[in-house]
Amino acid sequence: MARFLILAGIVLIVIGLLWGPLSRLGLGRLPGDIVIERENVRVFIPITSAILVSVVVSVLFTLIRMILGR
């Protein structure tokens, strides 16, 4: 369990460091992301971006589990 927590911490640090370059790639403005703009309100629902991030994180964790031999 301790190994997993350390690995999760490292993954979060790497994601934090890559946040700037990832935002320049257009993550959050993909087709399928919903933006509702009114006079004083802007609502942003990143459906496609959330699905993409979920798939990438799932693949990473699967690869990590395979490498660690579980």
The residue ranking higher by pLDDT, 31 or 1, is 31
pLDDT, residue 70, reads 63
Q: How many domains does the chain contain in total? A: 1
Q: Hey, what are 57's tokens?
A: 């994180």
Lookup: tokens for 70: 């579980």
Cβ(36)–Cβ(50) under 8 Å?
A: no
Residues 6-65: tens digit of each pLDDT = 988 898 888 888 877 777 777 778 888 899 999 999 998 888 888 988 998 899 889 988
> For the stretch 39-63, what's the b/e string if a residue is b when 16 or more beta carbons lie within 10 angstroms of its beta carbon?
eeeeeeebebbeeeeeeeeeeeeee
Determine how β-strand 34-37 pairs with β-strand 42-45: antiparallel
d(CA 46, CA 6): 29
Domain that holds residue 31: 2-68
What pTM value is reported for the model?
Answer: 0.60
